[in-house]
Structure 1
Amino acid sequence: MPSAPTSARPSLRDLLPGQRRHAGAAGPSAARCGCDEGRRAGVSRRSVLGGALAGAVALTAGDAATQVAFAEPGYAGDTLVVLSLRGGLDGLTAVAPVGDPDYYRLRPGIAVPASVALQLDGVLGLHPALAPLVDLYRRGSLAVLHAVGMTQANRSHFSAMEEMERAAPGTTLRTGWLDRMVGGTGSGSVFSAVQAGRSMAAASLRGPSPELAFGRLEGLALRAMNNEKDRRATALRAMLAGADPLVAQPATTALDAVDRAGALVAARTATADAAAQAAKGGTPVASPPVVYPTSDLGQSLRDVATLVKGGTGVRAAAVDVGDWDMHVGMGAATDTAGWMYGKLADLAASLVAFAADLGPHLDRVCLVTLSEFGRTASQNGSGGTDHGYGNAALVLGGGVVGGRVHGTWPTLAPTARVGGDLAVTTDYRALLAEALVKRCGLSPSTVFPGQVTPTEGVFRRR
């Protein structure tokens, strides 16, 4: 990062002490296996202004008082939440093909035993750590797809992430597909596109449409004590009053956004405090808050739910969770202290809390899990798997045709595999295209260049 210019005039950063910015570090799995889960970050005028200003103008949520109205004319579609499982989820463990005889031949030491799998159909079963998802599946709010991925195998973290988030193979288009999705919905609010859980947006949000990236909603707060918050906000707005619109507009928008976020967090905190008092014998709370896992994933989904319920106009939300690159020591399916078991248990608990928290709002939310590639069909000699191809995906929402497995299972027979790995029978863009058409009211060509034929039957039309 270039050093800050020296100047006698105080900068926005000078007036906002304590703001911590980071570009995202590799997950723990990088240290375990030597793979770098980092991502190249796109630098643009938008990202410099939006990141430096929107990230820096932060408020202490508890004393934010102003609520800003963010009207959403012209968009009546779902909030599309993309949950990226960074590092390469082992879909053959998460959604195990326990009815495929080649599965146990290829993975004699790490395969999920059929006796503990949560059977979905005649072939596939959920890992036991995903048991909390069974109720959502049976209620029709959760669907499963297998053999999902890109049309061409790519086993490099960097280039696979880049290509998946660009979603424009064979073209020179450099924007991210979520940015194009948001741009296709017309003008919206500052919350139209958000990255929750990190202060640098994913490559899928790269492009001309502005996005708001934050670590936690509580972090959208001026680092000030007591009544200094108002003084700092006033000083910032005064500085911006005569500034070039190129700088003033995004900065003022950011200040408005943090006021709104602060009000939402303050209300959320008040509800939690009231529930805590009720637990001690105080006045009962009509709607006690949903308890999320304390993990980064759980807290990021909690923030997304808060924005959706708060009517901020979120159209696209990106959430990342890493540490899926399990080359070594994945752990047995029955090992509750194992690496994979712990990751899947957190994923399940976070998704269940997210659905419960949204309540009726789940009807206008569509969440899709994606990972840059799957894992090798065969286990390696270190109790893990290496970079593979086809993968599993979960789809959650009120508009999902749930309670079933979609797509085509290609089998793990030698002649069916690609480079020895699970083949891809569903282009991930086709899955997303169906969501865009049926839930977001967009044409696939608005987002994906070339010919992308949507899947059929995964979503209900709004």
Structure 2
Amino acid sequence: MRDTFASLHPDCPDWRRLGPTQADAALRAGAAAVVADAEDRESQWSRGFTRRRLLAGGLGVGVAATQLVTTRVSWAAPGAAPGGTLIVVFLRGGMDGLSVLVPADDPELLKARPSIAVRAASLLNLQRGFGMHPALAPLVPMMTTGWLAAVPAVSTPDLTRSHFQAQDCLERGGAAKSSMQSGWLDRVLQELGPGTTFRGLGLGTRMSRSLLGSSNPIMLSSLKDFTVKGIDGVAPQTLAALKTLYTGIDHPLGVQGLDALQASAQAQGYAKQQEKPAKERGYPDGEFGASMATLAQLIKAKAGVRVATVDLGGWDMHTDLGTVDGGDMTNSLKTVATALAAFAAELGPELDNTTVVTMSEFGRRVEQNANSGTDHGHGGVALVLGGGVKGGVHGKWEGLAPGVLDQGDVPGTNDYRDVLSEIVMRRLGLSEAQAGKVFPGWKPAPLGIMA
């Protein structure tokens, strides 16, 4: 290795002296060579050592080791008017809509769920005979101001009780048998056009299927940890060397490398604007609360976020769903409500331009099972919160009479594409024709969710 790198730095034959570690020293040596011989690069690198080989050969510094940066280009400067933000919260596992948005005056509910149904006296009254689970009490201010809407009997067009198939259908934005490969939010970003580095975000450790495609979103867990990591903590000289090495490479690696460095620098700047941890700002413990807190920071910093996804699992409650006094459903809903309430409070006036929609792959069967839980069903519930929302209950609801049910399930009388297409048109400004490209083969029929 000494022979390979010996003459890289014009003023330091022993390249190992250039950094505290061999990796840093090699990067700095390579960058110095680029600068020293910029007018004759091809000749300089023809000796068998290239920047591409350096970066691919195990000596490069990784970007946010467990976080993938896939931004292709930063089209606009931070601070550019975002024109509105849509946040999609996916509640994975098949949330029981009848425990969240409860048809309190339907006599069939107590017959089907004698031990787990939420009684009318405990509900937060909403509209049209429906009430919300009392664990959602932190959202009462939004209910009062008319900034919380609910849609019952929401579903995919196909009856499937498979988590994988239903989630895939929702996130692709089509029917279960559709051949579309990209996600619906990727197509939203394509229709929106250029934006900032942070225009498309996946929060957490798993990139949502809805963002997959050519829009190249960023995946991050936290702003503080979204940084370039090196063995010595990445000294300024190493960062400068990386920027030099990635500059001028006619390859996607060069563009993405520079974007990664730029995004990392911006993220650290945004992180410094908020010193209080998420819990001190009212968010619950855990990844979901931390993700919502990160989103609030970016939106307030005017980072240009247009769409973002956040996941929360644990909704597959086959056993011991619980009661309003405790249990899995109550605990999970408290987490959601506390995080969303803190998010709304932190955004303040910025909430006027932000809409949050919660969705789940399917609802649960109407009748409780023998384990005081519920099994996979069909129609579920979507909640929509934030600016521009028309509060109340929207969409078609036919009740729970035996003749109405679909094989024991709440029927899917409200197609999820009608919910989402209305939101992207009103919140993000897409035309009906553009919404048709986001959801191919579907003509949007707004439900009145957005004012």
Q: After TM superposition, is the score higher than 0.5?
A: yes
- 1:364 counterpart (330, 353, 375): 353
Partner of 1:382: 371
The CA deviation string for residues 269-310 of structure 1, in whole angstroms up to 9 with x for no partner, is 1xx39x99xxxxxxxxxxxx7321122111101111111111
Partner of 1:144: 150
In 2: Cα distance, 1:127 partner to 1:368 partner: 17
* Change over 3 Å in CA distance of 1:439–1:126 after alignment to 2: same
* Change over 3 Å in CA distance of 1:308–1:454 after alignment to 2: farther
- Does the 8 Å contact 1:375/1:391 carry over to 2? yes
Partner of 1:424: 412
- 2:385 counterpart (364, 375, 396): 396
What amino acid does structure 2 have at the position aligned with 1:16?
Answer: V
After the TM superposition, which residues 271-310 of structure 1 pair with which residues of structure 2 at under 5 Å, given as runs? 272=276, 290-310=281-301
- 1:69 counterpart (66, 77, 99): 77
After the TM superposition, which residues 117-266 of structure 1 pair with which residues of structure 2 at under 5 Å, given as runs? 117-169=123-175, 171-198=178-205, 200-224=206-230, 228-266=234-272
Partner of 1:405: 393
Q: CA RMSD in A?
A: 2.4
* Change over 3 Å in CA distance of 1:210–1:17 after alignment to 2: closer
Partner of 1:281: none
**Which range is displaced more, 338-347 or 113-122?**
113-122
- Does the 8 Å contact 1:12/1:236 carry over to 2? no
Gap runs ≥5 in structure 2: 1-51
* Change over 3 Å in CA distance of 1:253–1:224 after alignment to 2: same
Aligned length: 392
Partner of 2:43: none
In 1: Cα distance, 2:54 partner to 2:442 partner: 53
Give the match's secondary structure for 2:219. Answer: strand
Give the match's secondary structure for 2:412. Answer: coil
In 1: Cα distance, 2:79 partner to 2:336 partner: 33
Structure 1 position 17, deviation (Å)? 6.3
The CA deviation string for residues 332-364 of structure 1, in whole angstroms up to 9 with x for no partner, is 1222xx111110001000010010011000011
What amino acid does structure 2 have at the position aligned with 1:368?
Answer: V
The CA deviation string for residues 143-190 of structure 1, in whole angstroms up to 9 with x for no partner, is 111111112212101111111100122542211000000110111111
In 1: Cα distance, 2:421 partner to 2:103 partner: 26
Structure 1 position 235, deviation (Å)? 2.5
Gap runs ≥5 in structure 1: 1-6, 23-50, 55-67, 277-288
- 2:325 counterpart (334, 337, 346): 334
Question: TM-score scaled to structure 2, two decimals?
Answer: 0.82
Larger radius of gyration: 2
Could you tell me the percent identity over the aligned residues?
38
Q: 1:314 and 2:305 equivalent?
A: yes
Partner of 1:78: 84
Partner of 1:39: none
What amino acid does structure 1 have at the position aligned with 2:114?
Answer: P
Partner of 2:10: none
In 2: Cα distance, 1:53 partner to 1:233 partner: 19
What amino acid does structure 1 have at the position aligned with 2:386?
Answer: G
